[in-house]
Amino acid sequence: MNQNNLSSFNTSATNVANSAVNSTLSDTVLWTALITPFTENDSIDFDSLAVIAAKQAAAGNGIVLLGSTGEGLALTLVEKTKIVEFICQLKLNTPLMVAVGGHNLPEQTAWVEQCNQYPIDAYLLGTPIYAKPGVVGQTQWFEQLLNTAKFPCMLYNVPSRSCAEIPLQTVKNLSKHINFWAMKEASGDINTFLAYRQAVPEVALFSGEDAMVPYLANAGVKGLVSVCANAWPAPTKRYVELSLANESKTLFPLWNNAIASLFSVANPIPVKILMHLQGEISLPNLRAPLTHLELSSSDDIQRYDQQIKAWFIEQNSLLTSTKSLIQSNQAVGA
């Protein structure tokens, strides 16, 4: 992509005060951690990328670019830049969040400075990987990124990947920062979620574990940053809405089993294979060291794909019947 195309972006709206957490962010309960499709020669498949991004926007889902599901750490700076610019130029009617992750603070700061010029809506700030910093180190890390950002930020707790949790004291230290909007909590531990909820009650707390949403509804979860929404954009949106409304009767055991099938080997291997089988992306390829060959059988993901689609058809039918009944009652009352 030509760097000169940057001039086509309308950046006037992106340089507003840092404190503006707009209504679109506040109203978005599902963010899809978008995969990055590749071609046979291992370059970015922009045709497939446009298709899957448009389907997320049509479902009303926010899009997270270049996270772990998007294989962001396996992409070059040039590739990441091209992806962000490409998605921005699609002018999708949905919020965009760009992931910031690694262990080199100057590089990540420069990445935030670069992305500040794009018409995006938020950043996902990951815990520095491998180094295992403590309270002071993580406070300094996040504070510098928060200070640099021109958009609201979601801090990302994912100890399974970073090897270190974000300490409670760190989030307390940062709680009054004007750009600290939300957290993505992906420890899979409800006690950790509750500890963050109590430490920073004013911060929007999203689950980073697809299967945890129904269990966290009464604990104050705001929504979900999802992997499975890549394969099931509209059904996952309905799953989240039902979970948040405490209407989870129809969700079990189907959704637990379906989600588990997408994590039978390292993410995003199963979801990319399923999307290829669905015809959403041209190839299931991943960047090394990940490979689609890791999944020995696609039987489970295909079976649950059909079950999720059937569930969603039934949900839509119930919704249509309910609306018709309400309209009939209103007509009688008139």
Q: Is 196 marked active-site?
A: no
Q: How many angstroms separate the CA atoms of 24 and 1, rounded? A: 28
Q: How many angstroms separate the CA atoms of 227 and 129, rounded? A: 20
For the chain, count helices (H), then strands (E). 13, 8
* 98: phi then psi, degrees, rounded to nearest 5: -110, 130
Q: If you count them, how many residues does the chain have?
A: 334
23 C-beta neighbours (distance < 10 Å), count: 8
Q: Is 118 marked active-site?
A: no
- E strand or H helix at 270: helix 269-278
- E strand or H helix at 331: helix 299-333
Please tell me which residue in 118, 123, 156, 196 is annotated as part of the active site: 156
Three-class DSSP category at 267: coil
179 within 8 A of 151, measured Cβ to Cβ: yes
Residue 211 is encoded by which pair of tokens?
Answer: 């299967």
Please tell me which residue in 80, 150, 184, 272 is annotated as part of the active site: 184
Which active-site residues does the annotation give? 156, 184
